[in-house]
Structure 1
Amino acid sequence: MCQGFSARGCFAAPPSTVLLCLTLLVLTIGPVIGWRPWPQNRMNVSDYTFGDSKKFEGSSEFVKLRYHMGPVLTTNITVHTIWYGKWERNQKKIIREFINSISAVNSKQPSVSGWWRTVQLYTDQTGSNISKTVRLGEEKNDRFYSHGKSLTRLSIHSVIKSAITAKTKPLPINPRNGLYLLLTSDDVYVQDFCTSVCGFHYFTFPSLVGYTLPYAWVGNSAKLCPGQCAYPFAVPEYMGGRKPFKSPNGDVGVDGMISVIGHEMAELATNPLANAWYAGPDASFPVEIADLCEGIYGTGGGGSYTGQVLDAHDGTTYNMNGIRRKFLVQWVWNQIVNYCTGPNALDQ
């Protein structure tokens, strides 16, 4: 029944076939690993930016990003958000505006929409590009921590199931172009949070949720580990007390989340079922288009350097403009030129 299996085919198959196909997929592919925004190379930690013209944004000699024939999100992407825990109104506004800025056409350059244009370069097997349209969908609030304040990877599926099966205002079920974004407040711990991940993406299992839905989880690290997951607005202890950057929206935890959200959304669009765009020979440990640019926010970035970023009049640091706000977002890999790119690049 699953001969010539493809994730795209499973979307359209009968439920029994979908379950069998996805079961086989899960047996061979592990959860997509999340990322950490702080520098992994602990050399040269006395500076954040790099002053000369040498390029450090990846290497075409070693990176072998390939397309593995799975689906990508080519139709208009709708982001359905689950706010898990207690969130302030302004925190939600910051995140909503970042998502709305992805498709904004009149933002000042360098812009969030300019950053997404690199993601749009990726195609499926028909040659169709990632959608340029990303819009906010429905939202669900879970203020009372219905699944507790400590979540496992499997319980994340249960949170999503609760949101789409709620008796009042359930989230729409949209397997083809829906992107389900679970955001946990600063008092919620998720499995592996702060130790190895700040966010991750995967897809829900039909056996648990009833549908195959691409999702991402991102946590607010403000109380648990800002030095690990809100870098460079907070810094790890090993950096010797170096002064962090001033966050552009006055909320270290949420401004740190923005880059992780961008990271996971870019990877979900290009690799929603873990069988499309990634580097490396092992599908169990895919290296995706944002993983390749970990810690790079501007020209010259790499190792312990963010690269050349921008300073606003109020002393905050950013690298791209949204509709009304500024953001600092990690770059993504451009498979055309074979290095990391972003809208604030000095040589484009």
Structure 2
Amino acid sequence: MAFLFLLLLLLSISASSLSSLLAASPSFQTLQTNTHFFNPKLPPNSLSSSKKFEGSSDFVNLRYHMGPVLSSSPINIYLIWYGKWSVSQKLLIKDFLLSISPSHPRRAPPSPSVSQWWQTVSLYTDQTGANVSRNVVIAGEHSDIHHSHGTDLTRLSIQNVIATAVRSAPFPVDHRNGMFLVLTSQDVTMQDFCRAVCGFHYFTFPSMVGYTLPYAWVGHSGKQCPEQCAYPFAVPAYMAGGGPSALSPPNKDVALDGMISVIGHELAEVASNPLVNAWYAGEDPTAPTEIGDLCEGLYGTGGGGGYIGQVMRDGEGRTFNVNGRNRRKFLLQWLWSPVLKACAGPNALD
């Protein structure tokens, strides 16, 4: 559920054959500029206990617990901008969200694309066999620029933020298709933010919001902890000299590009486990290991053992693995495929 900073705790289980690490880098062409594949090595992983496993079904017991998935189409996202956000920041995030839905072939971004990345999420079904919807729309927005509940939030008080937005917008009671996405600005602190989470998802309580709907929260890490929540576009100071430098973000914004990867992680888990009773591994629903958690740190073929995997770098040195609308590029972590029983992404080379 939570996008924990466990990128440094990657296990030495490769997501694909290590021979791909030794292969010559193939060329790749997008509509924007020449690109090429490369496989940046991250600093050595620390040996520590972790509930995260990657690349092998031998260690994963992802099960369906009979709850709903977001199968009604489209998935209506109700965006809550908490704090001050610039127009350009909002446009970047909304371009990512709107890139999830398939486009008309003539307007579709080049492959690999965000909508192809979401195809892995759409493989998950409920007990009726209905798949997670492939269509996502922004159904409403609310801006809380004056921090109506302060700048120091908790996991519980985030529901007060949602309740205020529901009363102010007002957002409809959208039980079939709706979910809230709360994004907090860089001056807002959150319980466990940076220390343990970069984002999380849950569902609203009727006693606080008036009804039950899934929601996700993601924080802006620009001033507080980019080396944790915008990794690998920022790296901790103690790594200096011990490995490669931070990767160049695809949209030239370390914090926002890192944040988008977290948003993708959380949305995938909301869609496949909206009420925390659908798809997850482990026996504790209060601390489930979900389809994003299983693939933290993996962005391409050859990932694992300290590698993020084969990704792409354009002529300006910016790193990405999927294309979006309006000629955007993004770096999104892979997700666990219920068909392949492994982490998967549209930029896979094998």
TM tier relative to shorter chain: 0.7 to 0.9
Q: CA deviation at 1:236?
A: 1.8
Q: Distance in 2 between matches of 1:225 and 1:216?
A: 19
The residue number in structure 2 matching 1:66 is 63
TM-score with structure 1 length normalisation? Answer: 0.85
Who is 1:202 aligned against? 202
Gaps of 5+ in 2: 13-17, 24-52
**Would the alpha carbon gap of residues 37 and 183 (structure 1) be closer, same or farther in structure 2, given more than 3 Å must change?**
farther
* SS of structure 1 residue aligned to 2:8: coil
Pairing 1:43-122 to 2, within 5 Å after superposition = 51-52=21-22, 57-75=54-72, 76-105=74-103, 106-122=108-124
User: What letter corresponds to residue 235 of structure 2 in structure 1?
Assistant: V
CA displacement at 1:283 relative to structure 2: 1.9
Residues 73-128 of structure 1: CA deviation (Å, up to 9, x unaligned): 00120111000111111111110000000013212100000000000000000001
Corresponding letter in the other structure for 1:38? L
Which position in structure 2 is the counterpart of 1:35? 4
Task: Tell me the distance in 1 between the aligned counterparts of 2:197 and 2:237.
Answer: 17
**Quick one: which amino acid aligns to residue 71 of structure 2?**
T
Aligned residue for 2:220?
220
- Looking at structure 2, the residues matched to 243 and 194 of structure 1 have their Cα atoms a distance apart, in angstroms, of 21
Distance 2:223 2:308 in 1: 23
Within 5 Å, give how 1:1-348 maps onto structure 2: 32-36=1-5, 38-41=7-10, 51-52=21-22, 57-75=54-72, 76-105=74-103, 106-166=108-168, 169-241=169-241, 242-323=244-325, 324-347=327-350
| Contact 1:175/1:214, CA 8 A, preserved across alignment | no
User: What per-residue deviation string (whole Å, max 9, x for no partner) do you get for residues 130-170 of structure 1?
Assistant: 0011111110001111111110011100000000011xx32
1:172 is matched by which residue type in structure 2?
Answer: P
Q: 1:52: how far off?
A: 3.4
Q: Does the residue aligned with 1:165 lie in a helix, a strand or coil?
A: helix
1:154 alignment partner, SS class? coil
How many residue pairs get aligned? The number is 307
**Unpaired stretches in structure 1, ≥5 consecutive residues:** 1-31, 44-48
Once the two structures are overlaid, the 10-residue window that deviates more, 216-225 or 296-305, is: 296-305
Give the root-mean-square deviation of aligned CA atoms.
Answer: 1.7
Contact 2:3 2:262 in 1 (8 A): no
Q: For residues 235 and 36 of structure 1, what CA distance do their matches in structure 2 show?
A: 12
Give the conservation status (yes or no) of the 8 Å contact 2:155–2:191: yes
Cα distance, 1:243 vs. partner? 1.0
**Cα distance in structure 2, aligned partners of 1:303 and 1:91:** 34
State the partner residue of 2:39. none
